Amino acid sequence: MGFIGSDRPGQGVSSNTLGVWMLFLLLAVVAVPLKSHHEIRQLIDSLGHGTVPVELSHLTGDEVGLPLSLRMAVGVVYLTVHEILRGVAALMMIAPEASVGYQGTPWGSKAYELAAFQDYYLPFVSVFVTQILLLTPIALIALTFARSFPARAALLLAMVSCFGGWPPELINLVFWLGGHLLDWPRAYYLFADRYLPSDVAGLAYQLLLMVWLIRARSIPLTVLPLVVALGQFTSEHLGFIAGVAMAAHALWSIPDRRAAIRLALVRLALAGLVSVAVLMLMLGVVLTREGYYQRWLDGQSVRHMVDEYLQYKWLHYGKYNELWWRVIVANFVSYLSPPMLIGGLVGLVRARWDRDTLELVTMRWRAAGAVVAPLFLIMVIGGLNSGYTSDLGRQALPLAVMLVPLSAALAQRLFMPIVYRS
C-alpha cells in the first residue's frame, strides 16, 4: 500500500499517488481562503511589524519570537514557514535599495517596497502556506486508508468537503429529515464557521496519529513521551488523546491479553505524567506573562484565581450550554451526520474497488476509533467551558473530519462479506 510514494516497492511515485496529491492541492487552494477569510482579512488590515499574527496564537510573543500560549505548535510552524519563505525571497529582486552594495539608479527599480513586502505580502503567503501544510495529513489519510484511485479520491473529497462545509443541498436534506422528526434547529451557521489555525493544527496532529497507529508495529516507551509532548504543545487536550490512543494500540497489537493490559496501563500512566508536566511548564510561562504570578506575589491565592477562571467559564459558556443542551445535541447530530453518511458511502466504494485484507481493514477502523473515541469524550466534557452555542462548527471540525475515515473503515468492514462474494 502506497503512503507518500509508490504503490509498489522499488518504483517511483505512482500516477495514483500523484493524482491524489494534485487533487488535494486543488481542493486545498479553494478551501483555505474560503474557511479562513476572516484571518486573512484581519492579517491584511491590522498586521503588526514583524510580530506573529494574532490569529496564529493567543499571544504575539514578540519579545521572544515565539507564540506563548497553550497552543504553541501552530505558531512555531508559522514562524518556520515564514523564515523559509524569507530565505527564498532573498533569491529574488525585492527592494534592491536595501541590499549590500546597491549602486543606485536614476530610473527606479520597479521592485517591491521592503516594508510592503515584509509587513503584508510575506506574512500573507506564510499564513496561506502554513494552513495548506497543516491540511496535508488529509491527503495522507486518503493514501493510507485506501488503495485504488477512485476510493482515495472519494475519501479525499469527503474529508475536504467536511472541512469546507459540504454542498448546501446535503445540509438542506439533513435539516429536512430532522424537521420531519422534531422541531429541528436549522443551524446553517454550523457549516459556515470559520476555523482558527490552532484547530487545523490539532486536526493535523490527530490525523498523523491515526496514520502512525496503523503503520507502527510497536511503540517504544522512549518515543511515547515525544509524541505526547508534541500533542500537548499543539493543544490542551491532545496529550490525553495520544495517551489513550497509544494505550489502545497495545490492546490490539499484543496477543497476550494480560501483557497487553499491563502495557496499556504503563503507556497511559507515562503519557499522563508527560502531559501534566508539559502542561504545567506551559501554564507557568503563560500565566507569568499574563500577570497571574504578580497577582500571587501581591497576595491573591491560587485557589482564588482558579475559582475566578472557572466562574468566568461557567458564566460565559457552561451556563448557556446547560440551558440549551437539547439544541446543542441536535446541532451535534446535524453537524456529524454528513461525515458519517458520506463516510459510509465511501466505505462502500472502497469495498468494491479495494480488495483489502480483513487484517488491514480492522487495523484502520481500530486506529481511527482509538483517536475519535477520546476526542468525543473531550467534546462532551467541553460542554462545561466551551462556547457550543455559538461556535460548535469550529470546535467539532476535527471530530467531523475524522469521522469520515472511521465511518468508511467501519462500512468497508461491514460490507466486505457481501461485496467479496459478488
Q: Give residue 68's pLDDT.
A: 54
Report d(CA 366, CA 122) in Å as an integer.
Answer: 42
Q: Which of 28-37, 47-56, 195-204 is predicted with the least confidence, judged by mean pLDDT?
A: 47-56
Structural domain boundaries in the chain:
169-421
Cα pseudo-dihedral 231, 332, 397, 340, rounded to 10:
100
Lowest mean pLDDT among 52-56, 240-244, 413-417: 52-56
Q: Which residues contact 407 (CB under 8 A, 6 or more apart)?
A: 339, 340, 341, 342, 343, 344, 346, 347
Which amino acid is located at 254 in the chain?
I
Q: Is the pLDDT of residue 49 over 50?
A: no
Cell of 46: 491590522
The answer to whether the beta carbons of residues 410 and 365 sit under 8 Å apart is: yes
Cα–Cα–Cα angle for 167, 171, 172, nearest 5°?
A: 110
Q: Return d(Cα 236, Cα 202) in angstroms, integer.
A: 10
Which of 285-299, 302-316, 332-346, 351-365 has the weakest average pLDDT? 285-299
Residue 190, class by beta-carbon neighbours within 10 Å (0-12 exposed, 13-18 middle, 19+ buried)?
Answer: buried
- The verdict on pTM exceeding 0.75 is yes
